[in-house]
Structure 1
């Protein structure tokens, strides 16, 4: 099988949020906090995404120099969103514009969800490769992240606005929901107590 015959799925990691709930002063960025494993939140989230989808890209806010430095130290590619404060959709559109035209699908993940299981990413990829257009994982009946999209939905993704990201598309388009035994699809880091894995 030639390289082009392979299914090309690109990961995008959204790391442009300000995380003010974690530290209203803005001094401690939640993505740089250390988990019990010794990894930062950012490193843990990114390592899983890049492991399953080597062709991935991170989007960061232009003012987040510490995040950019951390990604550089990890050797991970990133792009900068100049207007990240306008909402999640703005940073999502910024990074999706970097996805090459040969992509078959994209998987949109959040950088503040480090407890995600690698198996969940594999399941999302498997269903996309089998022909599903939109794949959403669910745990005990509750939908979570990340979400996979066939590339045919790229125009709709690029037209998003506001702070709801791609969630609004999930309410109007046909979705393949996959049940996973992974509470990590629902767990994000909002406050310091969230750093501890129960």
Structure 2
């Protein structure tokens, strides 16, 4: 454990939803799957898993993104979205800090089969004392990923291009991995065939 446990920590979820979805053929944030856009599903995942607020970072689909109305849900546009995921991660961390978050839980918009229990487990491990937590699936690290606020600047500085938080996680010596294999699937959506038909 690398900090004193504190159940009062305020947690902000971050959805990276800025990409153009070139392989898919459209921005994935606005794709409707089982009645909700992928952005809505990701935001609901984080709120349902226990995040106090959720920031959805938009980019290619800056206008017309359908999200349910909530006082705890915030859209943040990243004007540099086409430079890669790193700029969206920085925008999300800045927004989380502005909202007084003590920790941020990160996920991607194109992971519709992650379950809220994974978010709950990651947050619970943080509240037990871990400052960096990652969900794992069959031994493979995936999302969601949590960073305590003290790491925000280092995560932002290490992010480059489309690597996001990968370099920070690889260099950080005390990532707490939490098994979430039974909570959902880490499969992503790259092309339309990845989503089952009606």
Above 0.5 in TM-score?
A: yes
Question: Cα–Cα, structure 1 residues 79 and 130, in superposed 2: closer, same or farther, change >3 Å?
Answer: same
Correspondence 1:119 to 2:121: no
Q: Which residue of 2 aligns with 1:145?
A: 143
The two structures have a TM-score, normalised by structure 2, of 0.85
Q: Count the aligned residue pairs.
A: 186
Unpaired runs of 5+ in structure 1?
Answer: none
4+ residue segments displaced more than 6 Å = none
C-alpha separation between the residues in 2 aligned to 1:119 and 1:5? 18
How many angstroms apart in 2 are the aligned matches of 1:151 and 1:185? Answer: 27
State the alpha-carbon separation in 2 of the partners of residues 183 and 163 from structure 1: 27
- Aligned with 1:99: secondary structure? helix
What is the aligned partner in structure 1 of residue 3 from structure 2? none
Partner of 1:176: 176
Task: Sort the Cα spacing of 1:180 and 1:141 in 2 relative to 1 into closer, same or farther, 3 A.
Answer: same
Is contact 1:13-1:110 (8 Å) kept?
yes
- Return the match for 2:21 from 19, 35, 39: 19
- Higher deviation after alignment, 176-185 or 75-84: 176-185
Q: Offset at 1:80?
A: 0.7
**Partners in 1 of 2:109 and 2:16 — Cα distance?**
6
User: Which structure 2 segments of 5+ residues have no match?
Assistant: 1-5
Equivalence for 1:10: 12
8 A Cα contact 1:114 1:184, kept in partner: no
**CA 1:39–1:63 in 2, change beyond 3 Å: closer, same or farther?**
closer
* Cα-to-partner distance string for 1:152-186 (whole Å, 9 max, x where unaligned): 11110221222100011111102111111247452
Mark the CA change 1:33 to 1:98 in structure 2 (over 3 Å): closer, same or farther.
closer
Alpha-carbon RMSD across the aligned residues, in angstroms, is: 2.1
Displacement after TM superposition at 1:63 (Å): 5.5
Contact 1:117 1:182 in 2 (8 A): no
Check conservation: 2:11, 2:101, Cα contact below 8 A: yes
Contact 2:15 2:39 in 1 (8 A): no
Q: Aligned residue for 1:157?
A: 155
Distance of 1:147 and 1:48 partners within structure 2: 13
